[in-house]
Amino acid sequence: QVQLVQSGAEVREPGASVKVSCKASGYTFTDYYLHWVRQAPGQGLEWMAWISPDTGGTDYAQKFRGRVTLTRDTSISTAYMELGRLGSDDTAVYYCARGKPPDAFDIWGQGTMVTVSS
């Protein structure tokens, strides 16, 4: 079946970086964009960025430009989100989600908890 499987929980110190992976299966990886959406504890959803697995093209929310980098490896149908210069307010669950802009996110990964703490 169509699914996105993310890497496991991470703990980082302030100022460090984290890289989260999202492996797609059950569909053609290059047919859909992959988005990254985060959710701080008890809070709402926040869109961060997208990548086109086909072209490698990306777009980032203004808030995250310069701090987030999206990449992909089409040979293993996996996308990556790297977030740098972590602060305590980056503690959140990070989700990858499939979509064809401007339409909705129809398949979501299970989420990856990133905790930033000294």
Query: Which residue from 26, 45, 56, 74 is in contact with another protein, where contact means CB under 8 A?
Result: 45
Query: Which residue from 12, 47, 69, 115 is in contact with another protein, where contact means CB under 8 A?
Result: 47
Query: Which residue from 29, 50, 64, 80 is in contact with another protein, where contact means CB under 8 A?
Result: 50
**Residue 3: CB partners within 8 Å, gap ≥ 6?**
24, 25, 26, 107
Give 16 or 100: the residue with its C-beta nearer to another protein. 100
Window of 10-18, 22-30, 57-65, 76-84 that interacts with another protein by CB under 8 A = 57-65
Task: Please report whether residue 59 would count as binding another protein according to CB under 8 A.
Answer: yes
Residue ranges that bind another protein, judged by CB under 8 A: 44-47, 50, 59, 61-62, 95, 97, 101-106, 108-111
